[in-house]
Amino acid sequence: MRLENKVAIVTGGAAGIGRAICELFAQEGAKVVIGDIDSGGGRETVARIEDAGGSAKFVSTDVSQESQAQALVEKAVSEYGAINVLVNDAAAFVFGQVQDVTDADWQRVFGVNVLGPSYMVKHVLGTMREAGGGSIVNIASVSSFIAQPAFVPYNTSKGALLQLTRCMAMDLAPENIRVNCVCPGAILTQATELHREFTGEEREKFLSDAADSNFMKRFGQPKEIAYGALFLASDESSFMTGQPLIIDGGATAQ
């Protein structure tokens, strides 16, 4: 029960890594509030948590809209009281070379991946202060550090999210609010599957190349990222702030 008596908001909790984080946090004693644009998936995560004996709520939220981020925090507070943990997991997966990226693409990828987390933090600060501090965990990526072919908008946004993490950590440390990020490598989720409109052999090649790109020669599972988020969310990481936790099977160590 590493999150006993804690309340956690998790954006992007309707699927993939975010859902694994919600389920693990609930298993470790947290009350979880999920914000996502996918209502069906969000409700399913709540049902899975309740079936396992935990407590969770879903709030339909597009994190790129500040008013919706604010409403998510307000609903979480009215449901469970002060918020102790915020996980910013929701992301837009927008890829391409610079000449292919439209203005709307840039707005979307920065709106969800960078502005969304900033709105969430801005509106959760008051309740975290009341609770005497808190832990914010951003789900960044190995793409925060490296270049990948035709990944310009996504990697630029994830680089910005790493820097947002460091800057907020510096400003919020005096209030006992820690800000870190988990940086996953290749994890098998719907986002990986839908990465591009691959079919047949192309898709198989993409998946096997991605798995081959690390020391472990396999994809990671969402739960292997959730354990990193759990460490950062819990008091076990009480002297850690402003840092990335890279979980990538060694991909960026080679």
Ligand X SMILES: NC(=O)c1ccc[n+]([C@@H]2O[C@H](COP(=O)([O-])OP(=O)(O)OC[C@H]3O[C@@H](n4cnc5c(N)ncnc54)[C@H](O)[C@@H]3O)[C@@H](O)[C@H]2O)c1
* Residues at the interface with ligand X (CB under 6 A): 11-12, 14-18, 35-38, 41, 61-64, 89-92, 112, 139, 141, 184, 186-187, 189-192
| Closest to ligand X by CB, 189 or 234 | 189
Q: Is 227 a catalytic residue?
A: no
**Residue 175 or 209: which CB sits closer to ligand X?**
209
Is 174 buried (19+), middle (13-18) or exposed (0-12) by CB count in 10 A?
exposed
Q: Which residues is 87 bridged to in the sheet?
A: 10, 137
Cα 245 from chain centroid? 13
Token digits of residue 66: 């500040």
Q: Is the CB of 176 or the CB of 192 nearer to ligand X?
A: 192
Residue nearest ligand X by beta-carbon distance: 16
Least separation in angstroms between residue 94's CB and ligand X is: 11
CA separation (Å) from 105 to 38, 91, 182?
Answer: 20, 13, 24
Instruction: Count H helices and E strands in the chain, helices first.
Output: 9, 7
Report the nearest approach of ligand X to the CB of residue 139 (Å).
Answer: 4
134 or 153: CB nearest ligand X: 153
Residue 170 CB, shortest distance to ligand X, in Å, is: 22
Least gap, CB of 211 to ligand X (angstroms): 11
Residue positions counted in the chain = 254
Q: Among 80, 119, 154, 227, which one carries the catalytic annotation? A: 154
The CA distance from 3 to 128, in Å, is 15
Give catalytic residue positions: 154
